[in-house]
Amino acid sequence: MKRLLAALLAAASVAHAAPNPQEILAASDAVRNPDFPFGLTNTLVEYRQGKQTDTSVLAIYSKSDPNGGQFRSLVRYTAPARDANKLILYNGRDLWFFDPASKASIRLSPQQRLLGQASNGDVVTTNFARDYRATEAAEEETLDGERVKRSCYRLNLAPSTPDASYHQIEMWVEKGSARPVKARFYAESGKLLKSAYYRRYQKVFGTERPTETVIIDGLEPDWVTVLRFSDWVKRDVPEAWLQRDYLPRFKPE
């Protein structure tokens, strides 16, 4: 909570001074993410031309790395039944998939699709300010995911580490509240990969946070993936859960 308050104060200060793009980005991260270990349920639903085509339900356990600040997460499939208890481990640099049937762990790319337009990197908790440098904060009005006009800062993000998942990101952050409104993700070629809308804000752990992300394909706008976040709980995330060699021994609670 202290980190969130500090970030929001930093964001509010830009109303009286030249906006600092990196501070705005960090404040938006604090709105999306608690600053303590937590768990939640992520329900992914894929739509094609308005019709539901697939769904997955994931249990996610996350906490930040005390050294680098990026989040580390263990993701467990709970549905569909064919995928139950498969695991994804993201430890800040590496991403591993573990199948209990084969007892094998396979290294994955954060950009690899998990369901629809949702990539492996989209389902884990992320601090954008740790992997990207915000180089511009232009004042701009934009429509949010509910088609409501918002007064925002448009941030241009460039990778600051080799582990960043995208070559370029544009992000719109609401002035005053530091709420992330939407983002666009680009390939190195400049092609728009997808757009994301952060919406359905609800009070979670004392702060209004987005409980739904809508991801739209960059080439096929009728290909939509919705991520719904629920069952948030403050909890311990044992360090052992975040080690690759522990995956075969992990038992869901």
Strand partners, 224: 47, 216
Question: Is the pLDDT assigned to residue 218 strictly greater than 50?
Answer: yes
Is the omega angle on the peptide bond into residue 80 within 30 degrees of 0, that is, cis? yes
Residue 125: the pLDDT is 76
pLDDT bracket for residue 15 (50, 70, 90): very low
Rounded average pLDDT over 173-198: 95
Residue 252: the pLDDT is 79
Identify the weakest region by mean pLDDT among 61-70, 98-107, 215-224, 244-253.
Answer: 61-70
Rounded average pLDDT over 106-117: 80
Question: Is the pLDDT assigned to residue 109 strictly greater than 70?
Answer: yes
Query: Residue 79: left (phi > 0), alpha (psi -120 to 50), or beta?
Result: beta
Question: Is the pLDDT assigned to residue 66 strictly greater than 80?
Answer: no
